[in-house]
Structure 1
Amino acid sequence: MTNKITIAIDGFSSTGKSTIAKLLAKKYNYVYVDTGAMYRAVSLYAKVNKFVGNDFLNKEELVNSLRNVSIKFKFNEVLGFAEVYLNNENVEKEIRTLEVSQLVSKVAAISEVRKKLVAEQQQMGKNGGVVMDGRDIGTVVFPDAELKLFMTASADKRATRRYKELIDRGDKVNYKDILFNVQERDRIDSTREDSPLLKADDAIEFDNSDMGINEQFERICSLVDKKLSQSS
């Protein structure tokens, strides 16, 4: 397959964007970039260095320290996907905690953080053949992407999925806390001044509230195949 397109997947938290993106990347032999993981890594860095907490944010110190933040993806052949490294340390598990989830929208709203990460994301996907998911991929990072998807689902369905994911991983969490986090992230992501979560005009809205992963994947693959045939 010589024609390579850019697939941009945006949407609300816990809509399964990363799961679908990984499956697409594997099927089409594309590069997968989890932009949410990049913002989570910066949030973890900020938390560890006490630049951010649930009730405070030292924006100036965090911005001044961004030059010290290096984020890389390294493919793990055993797991079958790329893990996130922050300053050469594997932080894949640490960035997925509820504690980091409660901070990430606050950190992601900082313009300087977005500018740094968007530039890195554009560099990663400049040659096409990439599947990238996040909040502003189709609107800011790759406004010319050939295929744009906007994933959505009801807040309670997303909270239930996230709750099960964390429980299965062994985390001790409360469903009400998860639901509040989902709703709060929706509010912050949709109302921030810099690159708010918006559906691109040419994006296909995909509500998966009552859809299993296999059905989602089959439907989205048909959309990808259609775009590939148009670009060949």
Structure 2
Amino acid sequence: MTSSMTIAIDGPAASGKGTLGRRIADYYHLAHLDTGLTYRAVAHMLISKGWPLDDAAHAIEAARLVDLGQLDKHALSAHAVADAASKVAVMPEVRRILVDKQRAFAAQPGGAVLDGRDIGTVVCPDAPVKLYVTASAEVRAMRRLRDIEGRGGSADPAEILSDIQRRDERDMGRADSPLKPAADAHLLDTSEMSIEAAFRAARSIIDGVLAERNEA
């Protein structure tokens, strides 16, 4: 990649945006941030300290303490943390603090790939590449189930689907920074795509933008 490039990737839970974001970052030698982990880190801190999840003052304090360089994906992957994070994420002041940190990450020399729920619309609205990665709720539920079973766990498929639908409703319906595609985002529906096919499609979009920038 010849110049600084910010790539914004948005989409609902289990759409594949995180896996795609890591692949893209590796391929183009860019830093990568799963911004969902920043909200999970706040939730994890609240749970660890025994603070109420609906206490805005404690959530704001936790958001200020979050270090983007110390996000432990394994510790933050628990279902309870993920569910708590979507509750914390509706707090406007928590979002403001974390968005400031995410923007600082995106502004680093060389560029970065950020994935989340509001990257193209709020965090990096001027990003030259915006992808909105989605898939049907049923496909996303099956992916989540395979992931759980792949780690040796088990779950009720109906409960996973219900949980994903609840999270979609919460993410898309919140008043502050709702989940939606940016007006200029490239839509990537991965319902019938392998990760390889999705990666190839994303790479084609990114390479097209790079070619236009190099010609300008």
User: Which interval holds the TM-score relative to the shorter structure?
Assistant: over 0.9
* Correspondent of 1:114 among 95, 98, 121: 95
Query: Structure 1, residues 11-48: CA drift from partner, whole Å, max 9, x if none?
Result: 11100101001011111101111101111111111122
The aligned residue for residue 43 of structure 2 is 43
The answer as to 2:39 corresponding to 1:58 is no
The aligned residue for residue 67 of structure 2 is 71
- Cα separation, partners in 2 of 1:65 and 1:95, compared to 1, 3 Å: closer
Letter in structure 2 aligned against 1:63: I
Give the TM-score of the pair, scaled to structure 1.
0.86
- Cα separation, partners in 2 of 1:221 and 1:66, compared to 1, 3 Å: closer
Shift of 1:49: 2.1
Give the TM-score of the pair, scaled to structure 2.
0.92
Shifted more, 170-179 versus 194-203: the winner is 170-179
Shift of 1:224: 0.7
The answer as to 2:169 corresponding to 1:226 is no
Aligned length: 213
Across the aligned residues of Structure 1 and Structure 2, the Cα RMSD in angstroms comes to 1.6
The aligned residue for residue 5 of structure 2 is 5
Q: Which structure 2 segments of 5+ residues have no match? A: none
Shift of 1:184: 0.8
Tell me the secondary structure at the aligned position of residue 94 of structure 1: coil
Give, in whole Å, the separation in 1 of the partners of 2:123 and 2:110.
13
Give, in whole Å, the separation in 2 of the partners of 1:73 and 1:110.
23
**Regions of 4+ moved over 4 Å:** none
Shift of 1:172: 3.8
Structure 1 or 2: larger helix share?
2
Structure 1 or 2: larger strand share?
1
Give, in whole Å, the separation in 2 of the partners of 1:42 and 1:17.
21
Shift of 1:219: 1.0
The aligned residue for residue 77 of structure 1 is none
* Correspondent of 1:196 among 170, 178, 185: 178
Give, in whole Å, the separation in 2 of the partners of 1:221 and 1:144.
19
Tell me the secondary structure at the aligned position of residue 151 of structure 1: strand
The aligned residue for residue 105 of structure 1 is 86
Query: Structure 1, residues 138-189: CA drift from partner, whole Å, max 9, x if none?
Result: 0001100101111111111101101111221133432222212111110010
Does the 8 Å CA contact 1:52/1:103 hold for their aligned counterparts? no
State the identity %: 38
- Cα separation, partners in 2 of 1:193 and 1:51, compared to 1, 3 Å: farther
Give, in whole Å, the separation in 2 of the partners of 1:17 and 1:65.
26
The aligned residue for residue 115 of structure 2 is 133
The aligned residue for residue 169 of structure 2 is 187
Does the 8 Å CA contact 2:46/2:62 hold for their aligned counterparts? no
Letter in structure 1 aligned against 2:82: S
